[in-house]
Amino acid sequence: MKITAIHTFKYWVDWCNWLFVRIDTDEGLCGWGEGSLHGAIDAVEAHISELAPQLIGQDPAGPERHWHRLYHAWRWRGGAVSQTALSALDIALWDLEGKRLGVPVARLLGGAIRTKLRAYASHWLQGAHTPEAAFEGAREAVRRGFTAFKCRPFSAEGLRNGEAAELRRAAGLMEAAREGAGDAEIFIECSELLSPRTAPMLDAALKPYRMGWFEEPIPFENARAMAQLQRTIDTPIATGERLLSRFEYRELLEHGGCRIVQPDLMHAGGFTEVRKIAALADTWYVPVAPHNPGGPICTAAAMHLAASVPNFLILEQMEPQRALRDRASNIPIRFEAGHMLLPEGPGLGIEPNLDALAEMSARPQPMSDPAGSLYW
């Protein structure tokens, strides 16, 4: 079997572009990957085209062998664009290997430890600006079968206008959400909007309502600062969606910078690298909750990883996009009693339905307002 072509497909979905990659072979089998970067998607696509000649004409067997060839193909390696391109190709190679052998990717990774994967509703309570709306939104998550959801009950603008008032507002929303959620876990998406000064304030304000984690409370670049914050607050820190390799995770784990790691298969090197990140985290007894913000291929890949690593905790489900993601897949992901059910077919077990996305042409990613991204 030889690789004959590599194709990319881009679509604008809600708040970012989805990018799929397909690796074709001379025997008719193909493998699908995803590299949906919230940002420079055209650069990712260009880098995939630069890496393609390293694969075309090659036997696709042995994804790890190809990963190392591609990773070391450039003197200046790493970075979000490069690693996302590599990740998309790596996922596609593992999908292709599973199809060639007639087994699921989880089998290639050592076998499924579990086939039911606990999930949480992400990007939840959007638009819930009153305690009544937060209560009803929490109740709705439970009605849908979730035992956990993630939300952001504060804003950068609110903090700028008066942090004490904004923290009281957040506490009011979470008090109502806790009442509506019952025993379900509530995770807080902080989006790097806090600081070592304000994060302890939020920790104290929300402590009565038993938050499951603070996700990325401060900017991710300084692992020691994150570790110092984790020693200061009681709520577990979850972080790592922007870390791109086990080398970047090493310092975070060595300093105790978090209690949950969140590697993203689309950005941290695909299956080949993220399973090593999971193993590294396991040596510190830190569980893995994969970051899962993309389309159907990203979701299926995250599920196969979650099924096969012993320290899996919970998987992100972008619940507001579930209907679209299901339409964009030839086989919708099954969801049952708060769990996503692992696809059973060979490879990833699903392929994208590009016809469902035909009207969603790719567009430039809007830039974030730097003045609104951080509050010190």
pLDDT digits over 294-313, tens only? 999 999 999 999 999 999 99
- Decide if 142 is inside a domain: yes
Task: Please give the average per-residue pLDDT across 361-371, as a whole number.
Answer: 76
Q: Is the pLDDT of residue 138 over 60?
A: yes
187-220: per-residue pLDDT in tens? 999 999 999 999 999 999 999 999 999 999 999 9
**What's the domain range around 248?**
107-348
- Decide if 295 is inside a domain: yes
DSSP code for 131: H
10 membership: H or E segment, kind and range: strand 3-13
* Full-model pTM: 0.96
- pLDDT the model gives residue 77: 85
Q: What is the torsional sign of CA 72, 75, 78, 83? A: negative
32 or 77: which leads in pLDDT: 32
Q: Is the pLDDT of residue 376 over 70?
A: no
258, 316: one domain: yes
7, 70: one domain: yes
Tally of domains in the chain: 2
List C-alpha distances in Å: 132 to 151, 217, 223, 224, 294.
15, 26, 38, 39, 30
**Confidence band (pLDDT; 50, 70, 90) for 78?**
confident
Structure tokens at 77: 């390696």
What percent of the chain clears pLDDT 70, i.e. is strictly above it?
A: 98
Dump the DSSP string for 35-82.
---SS-HHHHHHHHHHHGGGTTTS----HHHHHHHHHTSSSS--SHHH
- pLDDT the model gives residue 39: 87
- Decide if 124 is inside a domain: yes
76, 152: one domain: no
- pLDDT the model gives residue 369: 58
- Decide if 355 is inside a domain: no
**Confidence band (pLDDT; 50, 70, 90) for 14?**
confident
Neighbours of 209 (CB within 10 A): 19
244, 319: one domain: yes
Where a domain ends, among 103, 125, 148? 103
133, 36: one domain: no
- Decide if 279 is inside a domain: yes
Q: Is the pLDDT of residue 251 over 50?
A: yes
CATH number where 126 lies? 3.20.20.120
Helices 199-206 and 163-181: angle between axes, nearest 10 degrees = 40
222, 173: one domain: yes
- Decide if 364 is inside a domain: no
- Decide if 366 is inside a domain: no
Structure tokens at 20: 């799929």
180, 295: one domain: yes
- Decide if 373 is inside a domain: no
53, 132: one domain: no
**Confidence band (pLDDT; 50, 70, 90) for 375?**
very low
167-184: per-residue pLDDT in tens? 999 999 999 999 999 999
89, 114: one domain: no
Where a domain ends, among 56, 85, 103? 103
8 Å CB contact between 332 and 141: no
41, 141: one domain: no
Neighbours of 224 (CB within 10 A): 13
List C-alpha distances in Å: 353 to 261, 270, 329, 330.
31, 21, 5, 5
Q: Is the pLDDT of residue 52 over 90?
A: yes
Q: Is the pLDDT of residue 30 over 70?
A: yes
83, 184: one domain: no
166, 287: one domain: yes
CATH number where 17 lies? 3.30.390.10
Q: Pairing relation of β-strands 116-121 and 315-317?
A: parallel
Where a domain ends, among 52, 80, 103? 103
Q: Is the pLDDT of residue 115 over 60?
A: yes
